[in-house]
Amino acid sequence: MAGNSHNTDWIAVDWGTTNLRVWIIGPNDSPLATLTSQMGMGVLQRDGFEPALMALIEPYLTDAKVVPVICCGMVGSRQGWAEAAYLSVPCMAPDGQSVTAVASGDPRIAVYIVPGVKQVTPPDVMRGEETQIAGFLHDHPDFDGVLCLPGTHTKWVQISAREIVSFQTFMTGELFALLAKQSVLRHSVSEDGFDAGVFDDAVTEAMDRPQLLAARLFGLRAGSLVADLEPAVARSRLSGLLIGAELAGARPYWLGQNVAIIGDGVVAGPYRRGLAAQGVEASVFEVGDVTLTGLTAARNSCKEPMP
């Protein structure tokens, strides 16, 4: 690895609450290596970010040059490495013009953080997804419609004329994790498994009567106690109930719209399936690819020559 250190042109970083993902980029923006760790923002103090990054990238640095490091995600939040102020909607997805330079203790790197995007009315925020959006729009500059970015905090984003017009966040993924792992349902829900028919039925039920969500959730526990509900079925039903309620709430975003989903397969699949049942055929784009494209676009549009 270290033998290639002179090939490192710049470094792309997607730094979220839970994970740190790094791409070492060589000449012509070609990735030389992909590195990951569990050193997300959630487990780091402010002075822990640089060591966590260096632990991954050190072998790819030389004393001969200064390497730009372009970061997106929660690393730019108030609890992150340095706060990168939000842009406000309506706005273009951020590029290199709006990055925040971060002081680092190592002269071999020059660190920049992409800003998040906020909406004041109704209040909403994103950090990381704006870079995915920038990457998607780099490849699809004429896209006009809605992006769905499923995850811990799923975003529905209205895009028009290359601008982020408005967005709405549903904390569906976090609810799923809390309920499956930390609530009374943990005794009744398996760690994996997906039954498509059960999921579909639960989506329909939740879309029809979202007000019964908290009752249907307890029904998963009761079903396992008095009706032999299988843990894998309970998991599929939990997913369907939460995503169904979200689809009902996000209806103004997807109804009659051109929808693209940006996510990994595990989380994008159920959203695509739920939308298809409503007659919306959404394309799916891999989140890692789109993030790297967005960070590359930021790297190539920086306001001043990077070292």
Query: Under the rule (CB under 8 A), what is the footprint of a second copy?
Result: 78, 86, 118-120, 122-125, 153, 168-172, 174-175, 178-179, 182-184, 207, 209-215, 217-219, 221-223, 225-227, 229, 242, 245-246, 248-251
Indicate the residue among 4 and 278 with the shorter CB distance to a second copy. Answer: 278
What's the closest the beta carbon of residue 285 comes to a second copy, in angstroms?
Answer: 23
Residues paired with residue 117 on neighbouring β-strands, in sequence order:
87, 126
Return the number of the residue (120 or 161) whose C-beta is nearest a second copy: 120
The answer to whether 109 and 66 have CB atoms below 8 angstroms apart is yes
| Complex with a second copy: residue 64 or 226, whichever CB lies closer | 226
Least distance between a second copy and beta carbon 62 (Å): 39
From residue 239, give the alpha-carbon distance in Å to each of 127, 164, 168, 221: 24, 28, 20, 14
Query: To 5 degrees, how large is the angle CA 301–CA 60–CA 2?
Result: 150
Query: Measured at the alpha carbon of residue 281, what is the angle toward residues 278 and 286, in degrees to the nearest 5?
Result: 125
Following CA atoms 124, 128, 130, 132 in sequence, which dihedral angle do they give, to the nearest 10 degrees? -140
Q: Which is nearer to a second copy, 135 or 240 (CB)?
A: 240
Residue 233 Cβ vs a second copy, minimum distance, rounded to whole Å: 12
- How many C-beta neighbours within 10 Å does residue 261 have? 21
Residue 142 CB, shortest distance to a second copy, in Å, is 29
Longest pairwise C-alpha distance within the chain: 69
* Strands of the 91-92 sheet, one edge to the other: 91-92, 163-170, 154-160, 145-149, 259-262, 283-285
Between 6 and 251, CB nearer to a second copy: 251
Question: With the C-alpha atoms ordered 32, 71, 52, 63, is the resulting torsion angle positive or negative?
Answer: positive
CB of 95 to a second copy, least distance (A): 22
Q: Which of 118/235 has CB closer to a second copy?
A: 118
Q: Which is nearer to a second copy, 55 or 178 (CB)?
A: 178
Are 40 and 15 in contact by the 8 Å Cβ rule? The answer is: yes
CB of 250 to a second copy, least distance (A): 8
- Tracing tokens 């660190």 back to the chain, one arrives at 111
How many whole angstroms separate alpha carbon 44 and alpha carbon 54? 14
CB of 129 to a second copy, least distance (A): 13
